[in-house]
Amino acid sequence: MTATQAKSANPALTSDKEDHRVRTGAVRREATRRKLLGAAVEVFAQKGPDAASIDDFIAAAGVARGTFYNYFKTPAELLAAVTSELSDEVIAGIEVCVAAIDNPVERIWIGCQTYVQVALMHPAWGAFITRTGIRGDASGRLTDIYLPRDLEAARARGIAHFENTRAAKDLLIGAIHQSIETVLSGAAPAGHPYAVMKLALGALAVTPALLIALERQPLPEIELPEGLKSLEAASFKTHA
C-alpha cells in the first residue's frame, strides 16, 4: 500500500497530523509575535516613538526583515500593538484582582499602584510608558473603561468630589506617568508613587483617613503578559 493509499484508508490519521501542524504553526507564529512585542518595548524605551526604525526592531528581536513584515507593516503599527495588547493585558490582570473590592477608591489606589510597580520592576516597560506617553496611549485602552467607572462610582458614593471625570482621570494618569519617570531616573525612592497618588486622590477630596488606610494595603501579584516576562526585572522595594 502506497503512502497516498494509507492516507485514504485512514483519513482520521491524516486529519490529526494536519491539525498538529496547524497548532504547531500557530504556536510558532504567536511566539515570534511576542518576541517582536518584547523587542519593541526595549527599542521604543531607548529611542522613543519617532526615532525607532524597522531595522532596530529586526536587530532587537533577531528576526529577518520579511518576518517583521509578516506581522507589522510600520513602526506605528507595532507601537499600537504594544500599547493596546501589553498595557491592556496588565490592566486586565489588575482588574481581576480588584474587581471584588467594594470601595471604588480602594480599587483605584490598588490598580494604579500595581500598574506603577509593574513598570518599576520592568524598567524597559516603565521607560516605554513614559517615553511614548499619550502619543502611544501607553496606559492602555482599558484605562478608559475601568478608571472612569471607579471615579464615577466614588463620586456617586460621596467618597471623592470632582466636577469632570475626564479631568480626574487625566490627573491620575499624569500622576502615574510622572511618578514612574521620577523613580526610574533615580530622583526619588521606589515609595515615591505612594506620595504622588496620595496627593492626586487628596485633590479629589478623598479623606486623609482613607488615604492612610490605603497606603497600608498590600498590592496583589498579577499574571504578566508574555511580552513582559522576557524583560529584565529590577529589584525595587515597593514602599521605600
Q: What is the CA radius of gyration of the chain?
A: 22
Grid coordinates standing for 136?
502611544
CA–CA gap between residue 175 and residue 74 (Å, rounded): 31
CA–CA gap between residue 121 and residue 98 (Å, rounded): 20
- Region 89-113: mean pLDDT is 95
pLDDT of 238 reads 47
Q: What average pLDDT does the structure give for the chain? A: 85
Is the per-residue pLDDT at 2 higher than 60?
no
Provide the phi-psi class of 208: left if phi over 0, else alpha when psi is between -120 and 50, else beta: alpha
DSSP secondary structure letters along 119-158: HHHSHHHHHHHHHHGGGGTTT-TTHHHHHHHHHHHHHHTT
Residue in this structure with the C-alpha cell 504622588, named with its chain if needed: 196
Q: Confirm if 118 and 140 have CB atoms less than 8 A apart.
A: no
pLDDT of 135 reads 53
pLDDT of 240 reads 42
Single pTM value for the model: 0.77
Residue in this structure with the C-alpha cell 483519513, named with its chain if needed: 11
Residue type present at position 86: L
Grid coordinates standing for 164?
469632570
CA–CA gap between residue 79 and residue 128 (Å, rounded): 10
- Region 45-49: mean pLDDT is 82
Q: Which of 20-34, 35-49, 89-103, 129-143 has the lowest mean pLDDT?
A: 129-143
Is the per-residue pLDDT at 8 higher than 60?
no
In Å, the largest CA–CA distance within the chain is 83
CA–CA gap between residue 78 and residue 136 (Å, rounded): 10
Could you tell me which residue, 230 or 88, shows the higher pLDDT? 88
Grid coordinates standing for 63?
528576526
- Region 66-80: mean pLDDT is 91
CATH architecture classification, 12-229: Orthogonal Bundle (1.10)
Q: Confirm if 162 and 210 have CB atoms less than 8 A apart.
A: no
Contacts 24+ apart (CB under 8 A), 60-63: 61/35, 61/36, 62/35, 63/32, 63/35, 63/36
CA–CA gap between residue 8 and residue 26 (Å, rounded): 26
* Residue closest to 129 by CA, chosen among 74, 167, 82, 93: 82
